[in-house]
Amino acid sequence: MTISDDQIKNLIYKSCRLLDAEEFDDYLDLYTEDFEYKVTNYSPEIKSDQEWMDANRAELKGLLANVPLHFRLLGSFMRHATVYDIERNGADTANALTYVTIYYTTPEGATSVWAVGRYHDKIDVSGDTPLIADRNMKLETREVGIGTHLPM
Amino acid sequence: MSRNAEEHLSPPKVADGESYIHASVYTDPDLFAEEEEKVLRRTWKFVCHISEVEKAGDYRTHQWTGVPLVTIRGNDDKVRTFVNTCSHRGAKIVRDVAGNMKHMTCFFHMWEYDLEGNCTYQPREEGYEELGPTKDDLSLREIRTDIFAGLIFINFDGNAESLRDYIGEAGEPFEKIFNNHELEVFHYNQTHVKGNWKAWYLTNCDLYHEWSHLVNRTTSVLTKGYHDRPWRIQPNGHGYNAHHLDGSPFQVNYKKYKSWENRDHLVFKGLAPGEFRVTDIFPNLSVFFRATCIRLNHSTPIAPGHCIMEERGLAIKGESREDRRMRTKQFVQIWGPFSRNASEDCAYVEATHACQEAGANPYDLMSRVEKFEDGVHERIHSDTYLRHFWGEWSRLMGRPANNPKNFMEAAE
Amino acid sequence: MPRTAEEFLSPPSVPEDCYVSSSVYTDPDLYAEEEEKLLRRTWKFVCHVSEVPNIGDYRTHDWTGVPLVTVRSPDKKVRTFVNSCSHRGSRVVRYPAGNMKHMTCFFHLWEYDLYGNCTYQTRDEGYEAHGPTKEQAGLREVRTDTFCGLVFMNFDGNAAPLREYIGETATAFESIFGENDFEIFHLNRTHMKGNWKAWFLTNCDFYHEWGHQVNRSTNLTSPDYHDRPWRLNHAQGHGYTARKLDNEPFVVQYKNYKGWKNRDGLVLRGLQPGELVLTDLFPNTSVFMRTTCVRINHSTPYGPDHTVMEERGLGIKGESEADRRQRAKEFTQVWGPYSRNGAEDVAFVEESHRCQEFGANKYDVISRNEPIGDGLQRPQSDAYVRLFYDKWGDYMGRPANNPKNLMTAAE
């Protein structure tokens, strides 16, 4: 069975919803076993690309398990995503480009734009359901307040 | 017992006046203005790493005490810093954060300066023949710039001692290791912190707060020998902690944090596997080693309750892609905006500032004393470095940090 | 005739207590002085007891910039502490509300119990030489008291007790609060570019009801609208409007607003169908009762031009889901950010501030006089607003109509 573009879009949107809800186990289920997750950006200060998070399954799982033990930015994130482009690489993989705006809401209810960026995803479409094989969140925003322990 | 207003507003009941400071040092606009004059413009300020201005014409813009500056490598290979303002109408000349240029052209009237700060071109210069000035009168203002172990510093004060004398023995934990490698910056981020620059810096110098970082709680604090490292207090307000009193290194157990590995690969030459060191250079630079990673951390004060914190990661130039990726991964596990520790540190400073701003806590305690059996050295959860910092601050300001405003009133 | 600059800048031709200088809304020095002389010396509303029903329940809030935490201690008493660690001063409790066993500062993990005692200093051997001991490191407690389920605090240890402070003004709401078991069901906060007094006085100025479509259609059309007197508490600066002179209730005609019904079901015990009662407690708390709903409204000033207004709605504890839904619906018709009146009131304050800020209007006229007999005044009189500024002048030691000149003269 061929995986449709809509299935790929739904996968990406689901990854946003599950992360918003902090349902980390279900979130990790959207990825392949050997996925790589990165948050990257370009710094004009040092004139190079850089990685601000780089984790495989074991590392992301470890981090997300520890999140409740860390203290962190209070409040909530809401990711608003639009898939702009899906490109097939033969039968087994596809590349998807998604524009993402992340809103942050304080515990008192005030909302602001926290960051904008683009998901560059490699999607595994070889099975019955699509899975994220690699995700690179390329941030446009480099000032993110005190920062966060969470993947974006 | 909870405390009433009088108890809350009275100086803390500690043994001496060096064991607490008054929170106005973090919030008072007059003290901030005076600090710019007496502390920040008279001490050596870290700018960037030499790898950021590698070739002739490479520049970095920055600011200090509000003054826009540009640090640039000249054609003679010397790194200089200029006040980044045109001698004509005062516009900021170099407007990007970093780059390479052949000369500096002011975009307002196209005046030009060479990389040594000489004014080389005034469009339609016949207009200045009658009243002046000539190009020779119009060089940019140069600021003293010097380099120590690849770290570029500036000092507004022409009479200050040399950078090497200023750093002195405080260079011991990092100078050799920095010189063992050709280093380059691979990580950079800045964060606007709603807090005072000193509070940010002192979070780096207060190891007692390691209890609160999950990473440090699991990988460091419970490690054997953790408390056996002494603070090495140095002149000019510096200090560091590195090896134990017996000379052996302090090694962190990274594998105690879920899903992490120990750091025994890619270790910088001169460090032991897992070794941790931190050097604090007055007034606000911290140099961290975590076996495979180097972090340079400082901040630029903007106002009493606003500083811009900068983090840099250094790696070995020319290393393989795999090595760089592993080093980066380990760096951003602990530092950077998506890390475990840096965002927690920002939260400490902001939560503290939120209270100090309103006078909700008039004093800041630094009364911890944990002496070694030799009766001289103090252990790392002692506040000895904090007291040393405030001693130096008080000396430069001519005001005691525990009562700076009363002193002000008395002087008036 | 339009006015010349001189006419415009001269005090209005009304008695001295009938206007105030706009600087009371905009001047930073006066604001700083207000914090010291007024806001830290009067009783400040914190929350309703139903927000902290169980031991360990807390609410965080600010007053005069100071972060505070109000918590129910194991002895059931509600206490307030300055929410700042005795060690390095960090904010201790960081969330707006919740339940806790003890308070742990997240910076160095010092702990306080729910009485404000410091119970744990991490690695306390480091304090043996220089101190402080745990006994010296308790949190600063701020006086807290409860009246009719309303929690108040006061920084001033020498102020009169809360009950005495509220005085006879309690008449308007005490019995109703006594007869109904209330709990909070609505909360919203609004950051407003305006002064806290301007907000409060919008609640106290019935004359502006002409500006609300709801009030124009449901209140002002009632023939007996003007027959209620202001009941003023001259000693403390409070006031209320409730029953008419003949002790009959003032009844709002809700059905006159398109799509609404009269409020004759779910009537709170102690009120009549459609009845409206409003109490204003100096310096900034208003308790409204509109038959089926209670609204508690106050604000937190953060500067002369920045005020955070809070609205709370109270319903009956344990009522059915259908009743609660109806009550909430009626509440949010008039109050709350999506209501008819709440949004209009914020606009009144912001538009006034927009002019006062740059001196576009030097004076605020409060000269309305509408006697109803017995020395009493009708609702659209400015009698309460004048009383408010009289009290303000007492606390500040400055007349509200000329506060800055007095300052100059004193120097």
What is the total residue count of chain B?
412
The pLDDT assigned to B405 comes to: 79
The pLDDT assigned to B223 comes to: 86
pLDDT < 70: residue spans in chain C: 405-411
- Dihedrals phi, psi of C102, to nearest 5 degrees: -155, 170
Q: Let me know: does B107 contact B95? Beta carbons within 8 Å.
A: yes
Q: What are chain A's partners, defined as 3 or more CB pairs within 8 angstroms?
A: B, C
CA B116, B121, B122: angle at the middle one, nearest 5? 135
Give SS3 for B70.
strand
Q: In the numeric block, which tokens belong to residue C333? A: 């018709």
Helix axes C196-204, C383-396, angle to 10 degrees: 150
Asked if B302 has any chain A CB less than 8 Å from its own CB, the reply is no
Mean pLDDT of chain B: 95
Asked if A67 has any chain B CB less than 8 Å from its own CB, the reply is no
Asked if A107 has any chain B CB less than 8 Å from its own CB, the reply is no
Stated as kind and residue range, the H or E segment containing B240 is strand B238-241
d(CA A113, CA B203): 28
Nearest to B116 by CA among B42, B166, B69, B56: B56
Q: Between chains, do A147 and B99 touch, taking CB under 8 Å as contact?
A: no
Contact list in C for residue B209 (CB cut-off 8 A) is: 107-108
d(CA A43, CA B336): 13
Domains along chain B with CATH numbers: 47-155 (2.102.10.10), 171-397 (3.90.380.10)
The pLDDT assigned to B151 comes to: 98
Query: What is the CB-side half-sphere exposure of residue A111 using CA atoms within 13 A?
Result: 7
d(CA C174, CA C181): 12
Q: b or e along B232-266 (b: 16 or more beta carbons within 10 Å of the residue's beta carbon)?
A: bbbebbbbbbbbeeeeebbbbbbeebbbbeebeeb
Q: Domain C44-147, what fold?
A: Rieske Iron-sulfur Protein (2.102.10)
Asked if A106 has any chain B CB less than 8 Å from its own CB, the reply is no
Q: Between chains, do A71 and B52 touch, taking CB under 8 Å as contact?
A: no
Smallest Cβ–Cβ distance between C189 and the set A71, A74, A109 belongs to A109
Q: Between chains, do A109 and C191 touch, taking CB under 8 Å as contact?
A: no
Residues from A in contact with C at Cβ < 8 Å: 71, 74, 107-110
Closest residue of chain A to C97, computed from CA coordinates: A107
Burial class of C76 by CB neighbour count within 10 A (0 to 12, 13 to 18, 19+)? exposed
Residue with tokens 């050799």: B176
Q: In the numeric block, which tokens belong to residue B285? A: 């630079």
Cβ neighbours, 10 Å, residue C276? 23
The pLDDT assigned to B412 comes to: 37
Amino acid at B37: E
Helix axes C341-356, C196-204, angle to 10 degrees: 130
Contacts made by residues C345-350, CB under 8 angstroms, sequence distance 24+: C345/C199, C345/C202, C345/C203, C346/C190, C346/C192, C346/C194, C346/C309, C348/C202, C348/C208, C348/C211, C349/C192, C349/C194, C349/C195, C349/C198, C349/C199, C349/C202, C349/C307, C350/C192, C350/C193, C350/C194
The pLDDT assigned to C409 comes to: 43
Given a cut of 80, whether residue B408 has pLDDT beyond it is: no
Closest residue of chain B to C64, computed from CA coordinates: B358
* Residue range A5-139 in CATH 3.10.450.50: yes
Q: How far is B315 from chain A (nearest CA, A)?
A: 12
The pLDDT assigned to C5 comes to: 87
The pLDDT assigned to B134 comes to: 93
- At residue B410 the predicted structure's pLDDT band, cuts being 50, 70 and 90, is very low
Asked if A71 has any chain B CB less than 8 Å from its own CB, the reply is yes
Contact list in C for residue A105 (CB cut-off 8 A) is: none
Contact list in C for residue B221 (CB cut-off 8 A) is: none
Q: Where are the domains of chain C?
A: 44-147, 167-396
- Going by C-beta distance under 8 Å and a sequence separation of 6 or more, which residues neighbour residue B411? none
pTM of the model: 0.91
Q: How far is C354 from chain A (nearest CA, A)?
A: 23
Q: How far is C73 from chain A (nearest CA, A)?
A: 24
Q: Between chains, do A146 and B189 touch, taking CB under 8 Å as contact?
A: no
Q: Between chains, do A146 and B192 touch, taking CB under 8 Å as contact?
A: no
Nearest to B1 by CA among C298, C329, C115: C115
Q: Let me know: does B332 contact A52? Beta carbons within 8 Å.
A: yes
- At residue B224 the predicted structure's pLDDT band, cuts being 50, 70 and 90, is confident
| Homologous superfamily (CATH) for C167-396 | Naphthalene 1,2-dioxygenase Alpha Subunit; Chain A, domain 1 (3.90.380.10)
- Going by C-beta distance under 8 Å and a sequence separation of 6 or more, which residues neighbour residue C226? C370, C372, C378, C379, C380
The pLDDT assigned to B80 comes to: 98
Smallest Cβ–Cβ distance between C106 and the set A71, A108, A110 belongs to A71
Asked if C96 has any chain A CB less than 8 Å from its own CB, the reply is yes
Contact list in A for residue C96 (CB cut-off 8 A) is: 107-108
Q: In the numeric block, which tokens belong to residue B116? A: 């040594």
- Dihedrals phi, psi of B384, to nearest 5 degrees: -55, -40
The pLDDT assigned to A135 comes to: 98
**Sheet architecture: strand order including B79-83:** B45-49, B151-155, B142-148, B79-83, B67-73, B58-64, B98-100
The pLDDT assigned to A1 comes to: 66
Cβ neighbours, 10 Å, residue A137? 23
Cis peptide before A151 (omega within 30 of 0): no
Given a cut of 50, whether residue B237 has pLDDT beyond it is: yes
ipTM of the complex model = 0.87
Note which residues in 14-33 of chain B have CB less than 8 A from chain A: none
Contact list in A for residue B340 (CB cut-off 8 A) is: 63, 66, 70, 149
Q: How far is C60 from chain B (nearest CA, A)?
A: 13
What pLDDT digit, counting tens, does each position of A17-32 carry? 999 999 999 999 999 9
Q: State how beta strands A131-139 and A31-43 pair.
A: parallel
- Dihedrals phi, psi of B336, to nearest 5 degrees: 100, 165
What pLDDT digit, counting tens, does each position of A51-96 carry? 999 999 999 999 999 998 888 788 999 999 999 999 999 999 999 9
Asked if B190 has any chain A CB less than 8 Å from its own CB, the reply is yes
Q: How far is B90 from chain A (nearest CA, A)?
A: 24
